[in-house]
Amino acid sequence: MKKHIFSPIIIIISLLTAGIVSDITLNSFAAEKVTGNNLYILDKSKTIKKKDAVELYDSLYSDKKLGSFVENGNTYFNLFAPRAANVTLVTFTKAENKTGKEYKMLRDENGVWETSLAGEQYGLFYGYKVQHPGKKNSSSVICVDPYAKAVATYNTYWSPRKSIVVRENAFNWDGDTWIKRDWRDLVIYEMHVRDITAHPSAEVKEAGTYSGLVEKDARGGINYIKSLGVNTVELLPSQEFANIEVPYKDSSNGKFNDWNPYERNHWGYMTAAYFAPSAYYSEYSPDGLKWNTWQGTTGKQINDFKNMVKAFHKEGIAVIMDVVYNHLSEYEIGNLKQIDKEYYFRLDEKGNFINQSGTANDLKTENPMVRRMIVESILYWMKEYHVDGFRFDLGKLIDWQTVETIIAEAKKINPSVVIVCEPWGGGYDPAGFSLRGWGSWNDQIRNGIKGENPNNGLGWIFGKWFGNNNPDRIKSYVNGTLVRDSLGIFQKKEHSVNYVESHDGYTLGDFIRIGLGNVKPEEAIKDIDKNAELTPEQLKLNKLAALFLLTSQGITMIHEGQEYARSKVIAGTGKHPDAHKGMIDHNSYEKDDETNYINYDHAFRNSELLDYYKGLIDLRNKYDAFRRADYSDIKFIEVPDNPFALGYTIKYGSDEFAVLFNANNYDYEEMPLPEGQWEILADNKEAGIKPIWKVNGKVVLEPSTGLVLKKR
């Protein structure tokens, strides 16, 4: 019987959870008849069950520094892999090397495997071979370090990766720090790093990259974003992610791909490394992703990301990252699934991944070392990259203790850090997040104002009620959907992220095109430019939605292209024919082509709507009333016999405003004004901070229009 030098209780638990039958003597401990869920005998007097072994593993915790790091002239490598029987560090001089030098690692009592190399090994490529009890071939895969600060990836199926030892805290920020902005003042522009400059109309030299995004003389990118007046950008996932899915009409790793002829994941919701910026956005290629090549080998993605943040900050624009801590990339091999599936993921009784995320691997965020990884990742992006905030994908899949720890620790660094989420995923609980100080995407205002779907679920801007939408709910949205009016869900209005379009679903412009019957989603569009150009009726509804959104209390978010009613027409330029080519897309996550790119020619083709958004953003930014008014500062005007008419006044400081809407799509509405003379700042044609015309006594609103008035 073999003697072992490691912690006997841990090794016994490894054997138990692996289901190995054996008689083992480990120092003074003995385990007999290890099988199934039977009792296991330790030292003739102690017993442990398999489920208790799992609980012991789940409770393990270490505060040792993890990942690769350089200290005192040596380079250290620490990996938390509690169930592993052996872990080997493998180093490579080049990313493309298939074999490397191997170094055995030692395990401490808390499941951390450690080794070190002499010298400062900056630029060294490395990974881990992890051997599990009873699994002879489990160490054949090179696993990426979960704490890797930079990653090189071979762009093919399964995304083989190598971690890179990097020098940290070596960037010249020139005094840059976080932008500390009151949440009530946020006007967020949700955008994709590549899409915002990839189209030729952006006139960007390094199109689709971090650097291209902030080119000074370009038509698109940061110059365009600044011209809108928004003060925050929210980047779709920019941590290293899996770009490639399963081969089309083929199988890979147990999945048959009958849904994605592009074989791509373009949006980035398949995170692979939580501490590393995506190299995909650092290497310029006019044709997009280079298949069957290595990317990220130089590590330049680190400074490119930092330079991007620095450039936005110089313009007074904060940077928020969309982050995915509820699941890991689905198809690749060589990550946490191979390091320790049982510790890092939620599994059912048969050991299968629980799939509330829809990606077949939900992270076990309640485990202390998973929680630590998530929190340390957030703090790292704040400290190392000066990121100003985060939007959490499928936030409800993150346990409450982790949710509370994230915001508490992040606020220690920047008290104004923006923490918002998608409040669903295994449930829906914006109220629960608000109680913990988090903001949430407000899908109530999204569904209430535009509707739930453009076929048979049209909303208020169409002069329709759908579901439980009604005039009282519309009033609730104006106030920030607060709990105090019994219909609300938020403790504070700044916890409500108000939006009517995001990367998910139809664009607002396409929702309106379909809702009005101008476009049929199952028919191909022949003239894309003509389709993009707004009809008078489409323009009215887009303006009405914008006017409601940008005058309501709470955080405002618009999605890239919303300001000109972007249309997502499927370009169909992937590796395989797309039967839906020419049709309107509502889920363009896989398309790295003109389906997703911002076409600035289309933006200026719809310049009236573009200017309307700019004017409304100016109005919101200039006047505190639309951002900071108290619940009691807003008084609603009763409008009889027209449930789609809405009016209210706001008194804030020395300013008084009236905001009026007529969402009825066929009748005019005469609405009374409070005493005094009023200047029109926004009507059905234009919007801004300069008076358009004056009125007193009453005003008539055309169908599907609104007004903003300021008392002289």
Residue 264 to residue 253: CA distance in whole angstroms: 16
Give the pLDDT band of residue 48 (cuts 50, 70, 90).
low
What would the pLDDT profile of 298-325 be if each residue is shown by its tens digit? 999 999 999 999 999 999 999 999 999 9
For the record, the structure tokens of 417 come out as 């850090």
Contact 680, 688 (CB under 8 A): no
> Given phi > 0 = left and psi -120 to 50 = alpha, else beta, which region is 264?
beta
- Residue 19 is predicted with a pLDDT of 47
What would the pLDDT profile of 499-554 be if each residue is shown by its tens digit? 999 999 999 999 999 999 999 999 999 999 999 999 999 999 999 999 999 999 99
Going along the chain from its start, the domains and CATH numbers come out as 8-58 (no CATH), 630-711 (2.60.40.1180)
What would the pLDDT profile of 434-488 be if each residue is shown by its tens digit? 999 999 999 999 999 999 999 999 999 999 998 889 999 999 999 999 999 889 9
What would the pLDDT profile of 65-90 be if each residue is shown by its tens digit? 999 999 999 999 999 999 999 999 99
Nearby residues of 485 by Cβ (< 8 Å), 6 or more positions away: 472, 475, 476, 479, 631
For the record, the structure tokens of 112 come out as 């951390």
pLDDT score of 136 more than 90: no
- Residue 254 is predicted with a pLDDT of 79
Contact 146, 335 (CB under 8 A): yes
Contact 36, 48 (CB under 8 A): no
- Helix (H) and strand (E) counts in the chain: 18, 34
- Residue 2 is predicted with a pLDDT of 34
Residue 404 to residue 587: CA distance in whole angstroms: 32
Average pLDDT value for residue range 95-118: 97
256: β partners = 251
Q: How many CB atoms lie within 10 A of CB 274?
A: 22
Residue 365 to residue 354: CA distance in whole angstroms: 13
pTM of the complete model beyond 0.75: yes
Residue 111 to residue 191: CA distance in whole angstroms: 40
Nearby residues of 521 by Cβ (< 8 Å), 6 or more positions away: 454, 514, 583, 584, 586
pLDDT score of 104 more than 70: yes
